[in-house]
A and B are shown apart, each in its own frame.
Chain A
Amino acid sequence: MLSVDLAARKAGLRPGTPVAKAQAFHPDLTIMEADPQGDREGLEKLALWLQRRIAPIVAADPPDGIVLDTSGADHLHGGEPAMLAAMVQRLRDTGITVKAVVADTLGAAHALARYGRARMLVVPPGGVVAAIADLPVAALRLPEGIVDGLHALGVSRIGALAAMPRAPLALRFGPEVACRLDQAFGRVAEAIVPVRPVEPVEVCRNFAEPIGAAETIARMIGTLVPPLCQMLEERGQGGRCFDLLLHRVDDRAEAIRVATAQPVRDARRLIRLLCEKIETIDPGFGIERMVLTASQAERVGARQALSLLGEAEEPDLSGLIDILSNRVGMRALYRVAPVESDIPERSFCRVPALAPDDARDWPDHWPRPTRLLPRPEPVQAMAELPDQPPVFFIWRGVRRKVKCADGPERVFGEWWKGDAELTTARDYFRVEDTSGERFWIYRAGDGEHGETGSQGWFLHGIFG
C-alpha cells in the first residue's frame, strides 16, 4: 500500500503494508490502484490554481508537494499567517489534507512540511537553523543510501549533521550533503521552475458602437476567425469545439457553440459553421464585445492533401458532417453498425458518422424487412399450432389473408441478459397477403410451451 486515509490509519494500517495482509485484517477495505500519472497531473492543476490565487511563482513538487515563492505576495493576503490559514482552509474545504509551512528557504520549508509536527507553521525570518535542527537527516532530501550511511555513523538529526566538519563528510558521501545543508540554511540559492498556465486560444474584439444586425455579426465573425485559426496553426492544433460569446450592452451574454467531428482550423469552414447559428442569438440592444474561444483543441498533424500517384482518395466528408450536426445535433447523425444479436431490435447500434469502419456485417441468410416498426404492434391472427404461419391477420383494422409465407425463424431470448429472457422465444414469419404486401410477423412463444411467451402475434416489419 502506498497511501492510506485517516480512517485506515485509525484502523492500524500504514503505508507499506502488503495489500493481502491489510485485507486479512479488514476484509471490507476499499482499495484503489495507484495512478502516479494522474496524481502528477492533479498536482499540476492544483499548482495552477494556487498560482492564480496566491503567488506568481509556483511549482509542483512531485510526488506530494507544491512549492510557492510568496516573497512580496503575502501582504496582499494580510500577512503570512493569514495567507497560510486561508490557503489551508480552502484546500481543506475541497477535501485535501494539507501541511503548510512558510520558511526562508525551500529546503527548510520542505523538511518542516514533511517531518515537522505542526500542521501549519510560519518560521520567522532567520529562525530556520533552530527550526530544523531537531528534524531527522532524511528531511534534507538526501538519497536513501546517504541517509543510511549517516545513520550508521550515528548522525540522525540535522543539527548534529550541521555541526560536523564538512571535509570528511564530503570525502565520504560526496558534495550532496553539504549542498543540501546549505540550501536548507539559505547559504546557497535554489531556483524554482514555475508552472506555466496554458493560455486558452482566444480572440476578442470590442466595438465602439454596439452592433446588432445579423450581417454585421457575420462580418465580425469573419474578422475574428482567421486570427484564431492562425493561433491554432502556430500551436499545431485544431479545434473540436468553439464558443463565441457575445456580450450585450445590457450586461448579458449570448453564446454560440459549434462542435466539429474532427479538429478544424480551416477559417472558411469555421466561419460558415458559426454564421449558420447567428439566427439563434438575440442581440437585444446591441453587442459590444465578442470573444471567440477554441474551448477544446487537439493536436493536428500536417497531411498531404493531393497525390498524383495512387488512387483517388475518398472525399472528405467531415465538413458536411459538421454542418449537418450543428444543425440537427451530434446525436442525430450516425451510422448503423451490426451488433451480434439475433433479436432484430438489438441487432444494430448507432456509431458516430465518421467512426472507423469495421469489417463486420449482418448475416445474410434470412430476408429482412425494409422498415422495422419502433415497437412490435400486436395483431389478431389465426394460425395452426405449433409452427404454421397464420391464415389471416388483422393489423390496424385491416384484415389480410395470407397467401404464402416463409418460416418459422425461431429467435431465442438472450438468457444472459436477464431472467425474464431465460425461456422466451419468438417465431418469425415472412407473410405475403393476397394483394402482394409482405410483412414480418412473429408469435411471442414457440406455440407449444406457455413459458416461452404469451403466444400472441405481433407485426414487426414491412418488406419492400
Chain B
Amino acid sequence: MPAPEPRSALEVLREQISRLEGGAGRRRAVLPFGLEEIDSRLPGGGLTLGALHEVAGGGCDAQHAAAAGQFSAGIAARTRGRILWIVSRQDVFAPALMQVGLSGRRVIYVEAGSEVDVLACFEEGLRHGGLGAVVAEVARLSMTASRRLQLAAETSGALGIAIRRWRHPTGAADFGQPTASVTRWRVSVLPSVALPVPGVGRPRWRLELIRARAGDEAVFDVEACDGEGRLAQSARVANRLALPAILADGQGQEEAGRRRARA
C-alpha cells in the first residue's frame, strides 16, 4: 500500500489557520470593488460579506465622516436589499446618498440616543439577515463589542460597516485599538485634479487599508464613488499604469514591508 503523499508544511499550516478562524471549508461571498488594484489586495477578491468592516475619516473628516460616509454608502449601494443606517445624531443628507446610487427608498435610519443603543441596534440589524448592509456610526468600539458584531454578521451573512466617527478630534486616537473587524479603512480627501475650466473636479480619496485579516496593508488613491457607487482609478495612478503594479502603489508596499520588519 503506497504511503499517502506527504502534504507540504504550508498547506497544513493554512488548514490550521482557516480552522482557527472558524470559516472551516466555507468560502465566503465577497463584494468586489471592481478595481483590480484594490480587489487583488483583499483576501477573496473583495469585501467579505457576512463580516464587519471599519471605516474612518482621515484628518478633519474623523469628526464629520463625510468621505467615510460616502465611501460606505457606495459599498452599501452595491449590495442587494434594504440598508439600515444607525446614527446617534442625524446629519446624513439623503440626496447625497442617492448620488452614489443609494436611493432614499432603500435606507432605513435609526436614530439611537446613546452609543449603547447604537451598538445594540447594529447587532440586531446584523443578526436579522434580511438586510443588504448595516451601517452604524460609532465612536468607541471595544474588542468585545466588535466580536459580537462580527459573530452576528457571520451567522447571517450581512455586511456590517462601522463608520468610526468621533465628536472630538482627539478621539481618533481610539482607532489604534484592536477590534475584531475583518478590514479597517481610512478615507481621506485628496485635492481633485484641476480641470481645464473653473470648477471642482471629481472628488478623490486616499483609501488606506490599515488592516485586513489574512491580507496586507495598502494605500490606494482613487476617484470617489460614481452614480452607482463604484470607485474609479485615480487619474494620476492610471497614468502610471504602464509601471508594474508593485510600483504603482509602492509607498504602501514599502510601508507595509517596514512594519513587518519591525514586527
Contact = CB atoms under 8 A, between A and B. Distances in A.
Interface of A: 314-317, 319-321, 323-324, 327-328, 332-338, 344, 347-348, 353, 357, 361-362, 364, 367-374, 403-406, 430-432, 434-438, 461-464
Contacts of B61: 437, 464
Contact of A464 (B67, B103, B124, B200): B67
A437 to B, nearest CB: 5
Contact of B203 (A314, A321, A372, A464): A464
Given A315-B81, A361-B103, A370-B93, A464 B191 contact: no
A436 B191 contact: yes
B66 A371 contact: yes
The list of the 4 closest CB pairs from A to B, nearest first, reads A315-B130, A464-B70, A436-B191, A372-B93
Contacts of A323: 124
Nearest to A460: B93
Interface residues of B, number: 59
Contacts of B84: 320
Contacts, number: 159
B58 to A, nearest CB: 11
Given A320-B131, A374-B91, A437-B59, 11 more contacts: A315-B81, A320-B130, A328-B111, A328-B113, A328-B117, A333-B111, A334-B111, A404-B192, A462-B66, A464-B203, A464-B205
B191 A368 contact: no
Contacts of A369: 66, 93, 96
Contact of B108 (A314, A334, A367, A434): A334
Given A332-B110, A362-B104, A316 B130 contact: yes
Given A317-B128, A404-B194, A437-B189, A347 B95 contact: yes
Nearest to B128: A320
B96 A364 contact: no
Interface in B72-113: 73, 81-82, 84, 91-99, 103-105, 107-113
Contacts of B149: none
A430 B70 CA distance: 16
A319 B128 contact: yes
Contact of B110 (A333, A348, A403, A434): A333
Interface of B: 59-61, 64-71, 73, 81-82, 84, 91-99, 103-105, 107-113, 117, 120-121, 124-125, 128-131, 187, 189-192, 194-195, 198-201, 203-205, 224, 227
B91 A372 contact: yes
